[in-house]
Structure 1
């Protein structure tokens, strides 16, 4: 999940290997846009972020939004 953009780079986190406290800086040209928007209200812990991302993956697997 992208948290913010700064200086042509995006801050990414997944709540696991990349927690909210230490997002990875990645160049915009090295990531793929998914057109999926995740409501961040209420997501204040890594556990909640992992659960929200897992729900998006399940939705994608069921034929909803394609994340790839």
Structure 2
């Protein structure tokens, strides 16, 4: 599955699967950027991200993380 910066829900699910015990709110945007670009299927231009996009991904990941914590 090909993904880009605006696929925040899909990215969030993959990040949760890869890092199930990591609280997304503790991840710096520079680290989040690297984590996203290293996901399998991510094919967007790394330079096309910005703070708003990374924040949307982080919030989607946080929602998935909270759901998984029960």
Per the normalisation by structure 1, the TM-score is: 0.34
Larger strand percent: 1
Q: Which has the larger radius of gyration?
A: 1
More helix by share: 2
Greater RCO (Cα-Cα under 8 Å, separation 6 or more): 2
> What is the TM-score when the length of structure 2 is the normalising length?
0.33
